[in-house]
Amino acid sequence: MSACYRRRMKSPAKSRQKPASKLVKPGRIQAVLRTLGSEIAQDMIPVGATLPPEHDLESRFGVGRGVVREAIKTLAAKGLVTVRPRHGTHVRPRSDWSLLDRDVLSWLINEDAPNRDLMLALQEVRQIIEPAAALAAERATAKDRKRIMAALAAMEASHDVPTAIVADKAFHLAIIDATHNPVLQGFRGAIDTILSAVFMVATGTPGWFHENLPNHAAAARAIEEGNAAKAHAAMQQVLGYTQFRLTKKKFGRSRLSSGKLMATGKLRKRRVA
């Protein structure tokens, strides 16, 4: 065997996989991502600011460069930051953020003091998407209808907040699925997160859930009957009630001055009767 061939045979040993301790671990990436994402969303790192250098973030979180870079890469993919060689990582304007991304919405929602303008903006998104209950009425299969009615029954039978929330989410997501529109179904994650935000506010308000239950039942019956017009109207009632209660709710101080969430560029307050 020639010396050249022997060297080629030995070369793969140099590319052996790194020990597990040296690999980038998803859990560490998520921890860094969640912390930085929340700090950006809550204006602790404001729009236009530069994130600390990589080595500072490595020291802060006790992780390697690979973890930091993967977290920054994910923030950039979600539109929160821009990375420029030799210029650092900068927080982008909120208008560039992927606001329907599940993580971004979660970071924006402050559980201690939900933001009024954000909550109303999220509710407006629901008012655009969820009247698609009309499509569910036209396209729902027998299995879809059974799933919707089962979620309604669970809502009616619930006697505590956790079970009511699970059932309510299942109801709305089942209707989205029953549209059989792949684009609308792509909003499931966003709707799930938006509902979590709404429920976080609603749980502190007596009567919110039970007072809106008849509207949910009307939407379910309309879908079961295949009546698109009634399903659309009933879902508008569901959403209109929630919108009305949100406008009456006391919220935390607004933090959205650095970026407006409304399509018009202005924060609006609107009541639906």
pLDDT tens string 151-196: 999 999 998 888 999 999 999 999 999 999 999 998 898 889 888 8
**Whether residues 226 and 116 fall in one domain:** yes
User: What gap in Å lies between CA 243 and CA 74, rounded to an integer?
Assistant: 33
**Whether residues 236 and 203 fall in one domain:** yes
pLDDT at 257 over 60: no
User: Which CATH number fits the domain that encloses residue 224?
Assistant: 1.20.120.530
Percent of the chain with pLDDT over 70: 80
**Whether residues 34 and 116 fall in one domain:** no
**Whether residues 42 and 75 fall in one domain:** yes
Count of helices and strands (H, E) across the chain = 13, 2
Q: Does any domain span residue 253?
A: no
pLDDT (average), residues 141-147: 98
User: Sign of dihedral through CA atoms 175, 180, 184, 188?
Assistant: positive
What is the number of domains present in the chain? 2
Q: Does any domain span residue 215?
A: yes
**Whether residues 80 and 146 fall in one domain:** no
pLDDT at 86 over 70: yes
**Whether residues 79 and 177 fall in one domain:** no
As given in the structure block, the two tokens for residue 42 are 């809550």
**Whether residues 240 and 124 fall in one domain:** yes
What pLDDT is recorded for position 204? 66
**Whether residues 241 and 116 fall in one domain:** yes
What pLDDT is recorded for position 264? 32
**Whether residues 60 and 185 fall in one domain:** no
**Whether residues 122 and 221 fall in one domain:** yes
Query: What DSSP assignment string belongs to 144-169?
Result: HHHHHHHHHHHHHH--SHHHHHHHHH
**Whether residues 118 and 232 fall in one domain:** yes
What pLDDT is recorded for position 113? 63
What pLDDT is recorded for position 49? 97
Q: Does any domain span residue 42?
A: yes
Mean pLDDT of the chain: 83
Domain that holds residue 118: 109-248
Q: Are 88 and 53 in contact (CB under 8 A)?
A: yes
What pLDDT is recorded for position 114? 67
Q: Which of 61, 96, 131 is the last residue of a domain?
A: 96
pLDDT tens across 4-50, in order?
Answer: 444 444 444 444 444 434 445 779 999 999 999 999 999 999 999 99
Q: Does any domain span residue 268?
A: no
